[in-house]
Structure 1
């Protein structure tokens, strides 16, 4: 026995025939378009998209870790003894005398 949604999609072909409830029409449109383009059931596309996004989030390197090479490079720069005060920056920009 096949079960069809109002949209005409057959849910009996899904591995786990369960309904999902998306209240936002644009989100629903995107999900359905993805399923159509991939030729896969909606549930598979939702699961795959969520798994991919979860993997991307887990793979992100925290900002502090990404900045460490720069922090080490700045820390290793030789000390000049100059002060980076207003007069120093004025001189750099040509406003100093």
Structure 2
């Protein structure tokens, strides 16, 4: 989907960033938007981000096995 910038000031800023970084205007817009999204993500407290990750990727249920010396010896073939 095309993006049309109708504001002359914004278009000039994009052109300035593109020239400064040696990019196309499209890449300059992508770079600027990604940088702003990264900044917004970092503003979310770490605790909240970790909670969201744990909700999306929960830990598996315990397997009722103990990881003792015998367990690791069995994994390593008794080395």
TM-score for both structures, normalised by structure 1: 0.42
Does the alignment pair 1:28 with 2:11? yes
State the Cα RMSD in Å.
2.1
TM-score for both structures, normalised by structure 2: 0.51
Name the residue aligned to 1:48: 31
Moved over 2 A (4+): none
Aligned residues: 46
Structure 1, unmatched stretches of 5+, are: 1-17, 66-97
Structure 2, unmatched stretches of 5+, are: 49-79
Specify the SS of the correspondent of 2:41.
helix
Larger helix fraction of residues: 2
> Which of the two has higher C-alpha Rg?
1
Aligned partners of 1:61, 1:19: CA distance in 2, in Å? 30
**Of 34, 39, 63, which aligns to 2:22?**
39
